[in-house]
């Protein structure tokens, strides 16, 4: 059987997929991460055939906020889970088609899912991947994939604490001996930070800005912790009083304050996780500290905020946007790892 399977493997390219709320990444066996695109789909609503896809990924994201009645740009994943099943499936089919080069065999697919999603939600992911062309689907938990991707010693008796700040959720987990000792997820992530920025600018300046602009403000001047250097950026949007387009300058301090409440929630979740773990593991965290990953780990000075709040060593993963895909890819390359961590 093994020789046969190995022979078949020559013709197939198995995939590991990080199906994220903000970004989807695909790792191809033997090749590495070859696709990274926003989880956005643009749909032509005028087309009589149902759900006719106009664009997927970066191209669709460019349309966010620029659409009209006939076109809709959708983010089918919300809070880490599938919000729109059909669109998620179409998106997966598109990404699988783009990365799977063999026509004879369907790929085996690993999908990383948030820990703590319900059985119904897991089944939905499994079904979406199957219907999008997978021959077999394995699910692994995102924090485990992230920890493996960040090169943490997950198989050892050690406290591997990982905090993954994604688009829709923040997942906090402590892993030891290849298992998740404790995990907690909050539905606060980069999207909520963008919303907080929009809301603040609307209230303070009577200026309505789009999701893409809010995200840009966050990336360019957003920070989690005060700094001596205050930066400013000009934002444009629609004035709610005059109903005319307008520009205002905002600074990094006010933006930081607008995000503070959500950052506090993330910090509290981390603290609660630490309180819940057994004493030996807690003791080990004092030396090993916490690894931050996910796109939110790129927020400026998040490390400083976490360090001050937890008094623990804080490390930011090398490539925060890719750790889950890289870790899932390692499981794809090694059946031993996969057998250890695949979930039902």
Return residues touching ligand ADP (CB under 6 A).
20-23, 166-168, 189-191, 215, 218-219, 222, 294-296, 298-299, 321
For ligand ADP, which is the closer residue by CB, 34 or 282?
34
Q: At a CB cut-off of 8 Å and minimum separation 6, what does 267 contact?
A: 305, 306, 309, 310
For ligand ADP, which is the closer residue by CB, 148 or 298?
298
Say which entry of Mg ion, ligand ADP, none residue 76 contacts (CB below 5 to 8 A, set by partner kind).
none
Asked if 295 touches Mg ion (CB under 5 A), the answer is no
Contact 110/17 with Cβ under 8 angstroms?
A: yes
Q: Which two tokens stand for residue 223?
A: 């920070």
CA distance 25 to 47: 29
For ligand ADP, which is the closer residue by CB, 40 or 159?
40
Rounded least distance, CB 166 to Mg ion, Å: 4
> Dihedral, CA atoms, 51, 85, 319, 324, nearest 10 degrees?
-150
Rounded least distance, CB 334 to ligand ADP, Å: 23
236 bridge partner residues: 247
> Dihedral, CA atoms, 71, 133, 78, 148, nearest 10 degrees?
-140
- Contacting residue, 20, 237, 296, 329, with Mg ion by CB under 5 A: 20
Asked if 143 touches Mg ion (CB under 5 A), the answer is no
Say which entry of Mg ion, ligand ADP, none residue 14 contacts (CB below 5 to 8 A, set by partner kind).
none
For ligand ADP, which is the closer residue by CB, 94 or 281?
94
| CA-based nearest residue to 324, from 2, 5, 6, 27 | 27
Residue 174, CB half-sphere, CA atoms under 13 Å: how many?
24
Rounded least distance, CB 296 to ligand ADP, Å: 5
For ligand ADP, which is the closer residue by CB, 149 or 296?
296
| CA-based nearest residue to 137, from 107, 105, 102, 110 | 110
Chain residues that interact with Mg ion, rule: CB under 5 A: 20, 166
């Amino acid at each position: 059987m093994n020789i046969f399977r190995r022979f078949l493997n020559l013709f197939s390219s198995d995939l590991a997929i990080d199906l994220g709320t903000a970004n989807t990444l695909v790792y191809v066996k033997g090749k590495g991460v070859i696709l990274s695109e926003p989880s956005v789909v643009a749909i032509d609503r005028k087309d009589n055939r149902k759900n006719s896809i106009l664009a997927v990924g970066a191209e669709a994201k460019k349309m966010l906020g620029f659409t009209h009645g006939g076109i809709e740009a959708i983010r089918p994943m919300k809070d880490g889970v599938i919000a729109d099943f059909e669109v998620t499936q179409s998106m997966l089919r598109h990404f699988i088609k783009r990365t799977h080069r063999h026509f004879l065999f369907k790929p085996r697919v690993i999908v990383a899912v948030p820990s703590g999603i319900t059985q119904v939600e897991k089944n939905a992911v499994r079904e979406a991947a199957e219907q999008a062309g997978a021959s077999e689907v394995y699910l692994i938990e995102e924090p485990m994939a992230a920890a493996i991707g960040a090169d943490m010693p997950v198989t050892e008796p050690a406290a591997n604490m990982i905090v993954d700040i994604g688009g829709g959720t923040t997942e906090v987990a402590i892993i030891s001996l290849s298992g998740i000792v404790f995990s907690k997820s909050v539905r606060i992530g980069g999207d909520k930070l963008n919303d907080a920025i929009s809301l603040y600018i609307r209230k303070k300046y009577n200026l309505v800005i789009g999701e893409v602009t809010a995200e840009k403000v966050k990336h360019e001047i957003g920070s989690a912790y005060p700094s001596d250097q205050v930066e400013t950026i000009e934002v444009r949007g629609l004035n709610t009083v005059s109903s005319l387009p307008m520009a205002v300058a905002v600074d990094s301090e006010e933006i930081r304050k607008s995000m503070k409440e959500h950052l506090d929630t993330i910090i509290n979740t981390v603290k609660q996780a630490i309180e819940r773990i057994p004493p030996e593991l807690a003791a080990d965290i004092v030396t090993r500290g916490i690894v931050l990953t996910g796109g939110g780990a790129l927020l400026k000075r998040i490390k400083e905020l976490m360090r001050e709040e937890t008094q623990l060593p804080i490390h930011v993963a090398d490539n925060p946007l890719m750790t889950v895909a890289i870790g899932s890819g390692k499981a794809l390359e090694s059946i031993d790892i996969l057998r250890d961590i695949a979930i039902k």
